[in-house]
Amino acid sequence: MKVGILTLPLWHNYGGILQAYALRLAIEKMDHQAILIDVKRESISKRKQAINQTKRWVKARILYRLRRPYYPNEKEMASISSDTRAFVDNKIKPSSGHIRLSFVPKFAKRLDAIVVGSDQVWRPEYCPDLKLYFLGFAKKRLKKISYAASLGTDDWRFDPKETSRCGKFLRKFDAVSVREDSAVDLIKDNMQVDAVQTCDPTMLLSDTDYLLAADLKPEHPSGGRGIFCYVLDPKEPRMQGLPNIAAKLNYELFFVMPKVFDKGYAKSSADYIFPPVEEWIKALQESDFVITDSFHGCVFSIIFNKPFIAIANTVRGRTRFESLFKVFGLEDRLFDSVADIDPEILNKSLDWDEINKIRENEKQKGFGFLTDALKIGSK
């Protein structure tokens, strides 16, 4: 069976890239041909580009002190993502090639099934086209599945029109799974669809799988480098005080992230390029401890058995952390800010035998869901 995987556009989000890699490989291990539908947003007119540039100028010159977001355009995005996109292009194969969203319905004609997921594909603020990600274009013959699709939040963000239309599309799915426990009830209450909770696709693979993906030997040394700080929003007040944690643990801090995109890009573009995915995986393996405000930073700490603490990122979606930590009994490792970290937790040992047992169980549930979903209606 030819199975397409539809996820959010992949640029430089390490977790987003690796969950797509994992889901494709997992489906391939089930003896299906898994194909990444590698999407990017629609191109915009020169007039729209000019308007966006003017808005950016205002943000940079007038509103900069108000900490308004400053986003790269497509050309800049391609530049800062050149090294991470190399992983997508070279290691998530086969794929559709880097296609515009509007081309997906045409590409889907050669597929037998599409799996939507994972990541926050069903969060309205993040999803570039809700109809597309609820497979509103799909013909009846196409098997429609979601795997660990995320709403990102524990409140309903769809407006009434979106709820009605997307619910109509979702009721035509063959099988629906979501990543967070809160999403099970939200989808049932608002779309009258029964969904099950499954683990993030990255948990369908082992640490060895990721080491091999990073061109590292399975016996690559673990630890010895200090505290890996995988922080998405380093300038936020909640993330200040990391050196104090390092002092308490008697480790050095190290980072694998470029400068946060801002108006300085034009003068020193090289400083904003994201390091390769392989370097990120290597940093995780060589770390002794992880501090992160990223959902996938937490997931990979669990996969690699690295002690960690997480700083909740409410804007990006706190419920993702809470749902994950509830499954593994790690609620005491989640804090609202670095300043709130309980010193006792820093040296508290983790029961990796129990955690790995839970992870294996979640992995089997995930594979079981995909196996059953891909069999539904098959000849």
| Rounded distance between C-alpha atoms, residue 320 and residue 144, angstroms | 24
Q: Are residues 84 and 115 in the same domain?
A: yes
CA dihedral 340, 126, 299, 369 (to 10 degrees): 140
* Residue 62, pLDDT above cutoff 60: no
Tell me, what CATH number does 291's domain have? Answer: 3.40.50
Select from 28, 61, 35 the least CA-distant residue to 263. Answer: 61
Q: Could you tell me where the DSSP H helices lie in the chain?
A: 14-29, 46-61, 74-80, 82-91, 104-108, 130-133, 160-170, 181-191, 207-213, 242-249, 277-286, 295-303, 314-328, 343-346, 352-375
* Residue 50, pLDDT above cutoff 80: no
Q: What's the pTM value of the predicted model, to 2 decimals?
A: 0.93
283 alpha carbon, distance to own chain's centre: 18
Q: Are residues 190 and 220 in the same domain?
A: no
Tell me, what CATH number does 194's domain have? Answer: 3.40.50.2000
Write out pLDDT tens, residues 203-236: 999 999 999 999 999 999 999 999 999 999 999 9
Q: Are residues 240 and 94 in the same domain?
A: no
Q: Are residues 157 and 230 in the same domain?
A: no
Q: What pLDDT is recorded for position 47?
A: 62
Write out pLDDT tens, residues 119-154: 999 999 999 999 999 999 999 999 999 999 999 999
Q: Are residues 193 and 229 in the same domain?
A: no
Q: What pLDDT is recorded for position 379?
A: 40
For residue 185, what are the domain limits?
2-45+72-203+361-375
Q: Are residues 321 and 366 in the same domain?
A: no
Domain count, the chain: 2
Does the residue 170 lie in any domain?
A: yes
* Residue 65, pLDDT above cutoff 80: no
Does the residue 334 lie in any domain?
A: yes
Select from 185, 129, 133, 92 the least CA-distant residue to 6. Answer: 133
Does the residue 209 lie in any domain?
A: no
* Residue 45, pLDDT above cutoff 80: no
Q: Are residues 258 and 341 in the same domain?
A: yes
Does the residue 85 lie in any domain?
A: yes
Q: What pLDDT is recorded for position 54?
A: 61
Write out pLDDT tens, residues 249-284: 999 999 999 999 998 999 999 999 999 999 999 999
Q: Are residues 188 and 258 in the same domain?
A: no
Q: Are residues 261 and 371 in the same domain?
A: no
Q: Are residues 92 and 162 in the same domain?
A: yes
Q: Are residues 242 and 192 in the same domain?
A: no
Write out pLDDT tens, residues 70-100: 789 999 999 999 999 999 999 999 999 999 9
Write out pLDDT tens, residues 166-176: 999 999 999 99
* Residue 55, pLDDT above cutoff 70: no
